[in-house]
Amino acid sequence: MASADHRKPDGSGWVILADPEGNEFCALRSESDRAEQERRTQGR
């Protein structure tokens, strides 16, 4: 379950997730994933 979404339209940012016990952790895109999106965006 996402407890907070801090993503921007360009895909940068992070999401804070919580497990059923309420423990929170952040998920963000890998550097290689961000680089691939940048290559795709520039290739338009």
pTM to 2 decimal places: 0.57
Number of domains observed in the structure of the chain: 1
Average pLDDT over residues 10-39: 86
Average pLDDT along the chain = 84
For residue 4, the cross-strand partners are 16
- Residue 1 pLDDT level (bands cut at 50, 70, 90): low
Residue type, 40: R
- What domain range includes position 36? 2-42
Rounded to an integer, the average pLDDT of 11-21 is 88
C-alpha to C-alpha distance for 26 and 2, rounded to whole angstroms: 10
In 10-41, which positions are buried (b, 16+ CB within 10 angstroms) versus exposed (e)? eeeeeeeeeeeeeeeeeeebeeeeeeeeeeee
Q: Does the structure show a pLDDT above 90 at 23? A: yes
